[in-house]
Every structure is written in C-alpha cells, then in structure tokens.
Amino acid sequence: MSRRALTLLVAGFMVLALGVVGALMKVPYVVLSPGPTENTIGEVDKKPVIAITGRQVYPTDGALSLVTVAYQGGPSSRIDLMTALRGWLDPNVAVVPEETIFPKSRTAKQVEEENTVEMANSQDNATAAALTELKIPYSTVVTVLSTEKGKPADGKVQKGDEINAIDGKKVTDVDMVRETVRALKPGADVVFDVTRGEKKLDVTVKTTSGDKGATMVGMTMQAKYKFPFKVSISVGDVGGPSAGLMFSLGIVDKLTPGSLTGGKSIAGTGTITPEGEVGAIGGIAQKMVGAKKAGATVFLTPADNCAEALKAAPDGLRLVKAETLHDMVTTLDSLRQGKTDLPACTPS
C-alpha cells in the first residue's frame, strides 16, 4: 500500500472515530415528545381516574382526556448528540436547553418533587373549581407546609398546623397571612391561632427581617380545602399543574346528569384556579400530537397558548379557546347540541 493511500485510510478512520465519539457525546439538552393521554372520566389500571364518594354521581361517556409531555434527558441522564439531532429533525418533538426543564438553582430531584406537589395542588384546585361552578359550598383552610430552620417560626408552629386567625383576625387565604406579617416591624410579636390535631393553640412568634428587608417569620403555607364529599384523582406517574382544566370538567361531568361530551372524544389542557380561570401551559405542540393520536377531534386550548397552538395544530384537530371553566362547560353543551359557533383560537 502506498504512503498516500495509507495516509488517507488513517485519516478516514480518524474522521469516522471522531464522528462516532461526537455522536455519543453527552449534551445538555432535553427531548420533549408526546406523552401518555388519559381519559379523566375513564379508568387507569382498572381504577377510575376520578372517584367520588359521599355524593351522587351519574354515568358518563366519550372522553375528556388530559394530555402530557414526556421528556428524555436531564442532569442525571443526559442524552447524546445523535439523540438530539434526531429530535431536531422530528416535527413532533422539541429539543430544548436543559435549563428550561431543570433550572440550575434546583436539582432534578427537587424539580420532580415540585411537579408532584403541583399535581396535588392542581387536583385540589380542580375540585374547588368544579364545586364553584356547580355552586356546591366548601371551605378553605391555610396550613403550614414547612418552617425554615433558624427562623422564628421554627419550633413554634409545626407542619400541618391549620392557621385559623392571626392577631385576632380570621384567616381567609395565604396572602392575607403573608401581608399581615409584612405590615409589622421586625421584632414585633404576632399571634397565630392554630389547630394542631384536636387542639386549639395560640402561638406567639417574633417577626424578623428577611430578604430585601421584608418582615417574615420563616414558614411556608398552602391553602387546603375542606370539601363536603371525597374526590380522589389518580393518574399514575404524571406531574405538573397542566391537567387542572380536564380534571375539573371530569368532576363536573360525573356530578351532573347527562353526558358533557355527547359521546365525543375531547382532549385539552390548562391550569385551573379555584375560581375556574384557565392558565397557560408548556409543550402545547407535543400535547396536541398526543391528543390526535388518542382519537380526539376537539382540543381545549388555553387562550394564552392559542397563537403557538395554531402554528402546530395537527390536521383534523379543532382548537377551542379556553378562558374559564364555566365557558368550557357552556361550550361543550353547545357542541353536544351540534352548534358550530364556538370560541375558537384565531390568528392574532
């Protein structure tokens, strides 16, 4: 073999080797793809997604499906360059910087824990929104979620304490407690009337100065609801708050006579507040693909996601603009009656 041929052979081998190594190189990106789709008025593993006890429920049909996004990658299991390249070439997949899903300020475990908490809060908010829509009374309590070590509340209040009043004023929500504390000067005493188990206690805590000089006591709170009957939601390994709207619609459907869907396969997404306001979500393109694959013909789309959704909507999937739960209940009623004048996503 000539020296020239040998040189070309070695060079070619090196290029190939570098190409293989480069393709297998780990990169800080995450691949987002259509995830599982679950019918909120159906079953998962032979168990109802939404189970209601202590209140009359009615038969349902059709589907009110939540949609999800699956991800591949992350700080603890980074994808290789070849996987990222395949994702960039797939129109149904998004490849995003790792920090989009896993901010550097939080670990992967913390992100997963936050998603779990958000899903639990979403289910509570969805139940509250459905009962608000149906004018079924319920109450709200503010509970202590955690205390910050070394801060005044640490050792004074405990996780699970229900805060009934602060300085003699009845507590209405988390913001009311926070604003009352912030209105005090650092070093002032504040009295919390709490329920701990079966006991009622008055707990005095001295305030301190926190970040940017704001007065604080060092505890994290959350609103918890007391509903007149039990609503259990189970969807397996799904996290985040984006299924709120579909949970609410599923609960409304089960608590009211007749079929909300009219037998149709309807999918959608959107966060929900206890008042029934629908909020924007991420991964709308992948969620629409998942909805279409699951057989949905109508997709309930948060108003703030409409512009993005219009650019990526699969053929045959009708986009309905969702702003409130009440609007969606009314819209599904119109759809069931065959009406065509529905709130739609339109180009801005």
Contact 255, 53 (CB under 8 A): no
Sign of CA dihedral 142, 147, 153, 158: positive
Distance spanning both ends of the chain, measured CA to CA: 68
Phi then psi for residue 310, to 5 deg, are: -60, -30
Of 148, 212, 204, 213, give the one whose Cα is nearest residue 185. Answer: 213
The yes-or-no answer on residue 287 being catalytic is yes
Measured between alpha carbons, how far is 246 from 37 in angstroms, rounded to an integer? Answer: 11
Catalytic residue among 33, 122, 242, 248: 242
The yes-or-no answer on residue 159 being catalytic is no
Measured between alpha carbons, how far is 56 from 235 in angstroms, rounded to an integer? Answer: 22
Measured between alpha carbons, how far is 1 from 12 in angstroms, rounded to an integer? Answer: 15
Catalytic residue among 254, 287, 292, 321: 287
Tokens 């409409």 belong to which residue? 306
Catalytic residues: 242, 287
